[in-house]
Amino acid sequence: MYSKKLARLAFGVLAESTFKCPLTRSVSSRVNAARSLCSWTLCLHHRQKNQLSEGFSRRLTRLNVRTVSQTTVDPAEVRKFQAMASKWWDLQGDFAALHSMNDLRVPFIRDNLLNMHGIQQLGKPLAGLRILDVGCGGGVLSEPLGRLGTDVLGIDPVEDSVRTAELHSSYDPDLRERVRYQACTLEELAEEEAEGFHAVVASEVVEHLADLDAFASCCQQVLKPGGSLFITTINKTNLSYVFGIVAAEQLLRIVPSGTHDWEKFISPEDLERLLESFGFYVEAIRGMMYNPLTGAWSWQQNTAINYALHAIKCKEEPQPGQVWAESENLDKPGRATNYS
Partner 1 sequence: MFTFAKARLAVLGTGRRCVALRAFSGALRGVASSESNEESSTSENQLFDVIISGGGMVGTAMACSLGLDPNLAGKKILLLEAGHKKEMDRVPETYSTRVSSISPGSATLLSGLGAWDHIANMRCKPYNKMQVWDACSDALITFDKENLQDEMAYIVENDVIVAALTKQLQTLSDHVKVQYRTKVVKYTWPRPYHVSESIPWVQVTLANGKTLHTKLLIGADGPNSMVRREAGIPTVKWNYDQSAVVAVLHLSEPTENNVAWQRFLPTGPIAMLPLSDTESSLVWSTSHQHAEELLQLDEESFVDAINSAFWSNENHSELVETAGSLFRTALSVLMPDSGSARQLPPSVAGIGPKSRVMFPLGMGHATEYIRHRVAIIGDAAHRVHPLAGQGANLGFGDVAYLTKVLSQAAFNGKDLGKSMQHLLEFETERQRHNLPMMAAVDLMKRLYSTNAAPVVLLRTFGLQATNALPPLKEQIMAYASK
Residues making contact with partner 1 (CB under 8 A): 1-4, 89-92, 100, 102-103, 106-107, 110, 121-125, 143-148, 167-168, 171-173
Between residues 133 and 207, which has the closer beta carbon with respect to partner 1? 133
The beta strands (E) that lie in 262-327 are given as 280-291, 296-300, 306-313
Using alpha carbons, select from 278, 133, 280 the residue that is nearest to residue 212. Answer: 278
Between residues 39 and 294, which has the closer beta carbon with respect to partner 1? 294
- Distance between CA atoms of residues 224 and 113, nearest Å: 13
Q: List the beta bridge partners of residue 200.
A: 132, 229
Using DSSP, state whether 163 is helix, strand or coil. Answer: helix
Closest approach, Cβ 147 to partner 1, in A, equals 4
Closest approach, Cβ 1 to partner 1, in A, equals 6
- Distance between CA atoms of residues 233 and 288, nearest Å: 10
Between residues 57 and 102, which has the closer beta carbon with respect to partner 1? 102
String of DSSP letters for 59-70: PP--S--S---S
Q: Judge whether 174 is annotated as a binding position.
A: no
Q: Judge whether 180 is annotated as a binding position.
A: no
Closest approach, Cβ 103 to partner 1, in A, equals 7
Closest approach, Cβ 177 to partner 1, in A, equals 11
Closest approach, Cβ 109 to partner 1, in A, equals 9
Q: Judge whether 135 is annotated as a binding position.
A: yes
The DSSP letter of residue 241 is: I
Q: Strand 130-134 and strand 197-203: pairing?
A: parallel
Are residues 284 and 108 in contact, defined by beta-carbon separation less than 8 angstroms?
no
Using alpha carbons, select from 97, 112, 114 the residue that is nearest to residue 309. Answer: 112
Q: Judge whether 208 is annotated as a binding position.
A: yes
Between residues 173 and 320, which has the closer beta carbon with respect to partner 1? 173
Q: Judge whether 117 is annotated as a binding position.
A: no
Between residues 41 and 121, which has the closer beta carbon with respect to partner 1? 121
Q: Which residue numbers belong to the known binding site for Mg(2+)?
A: 204, 207-208
List, as residue ranges, the binding site for S-adenosyl-L-methionine. Answer: 105, 135, 156, 203
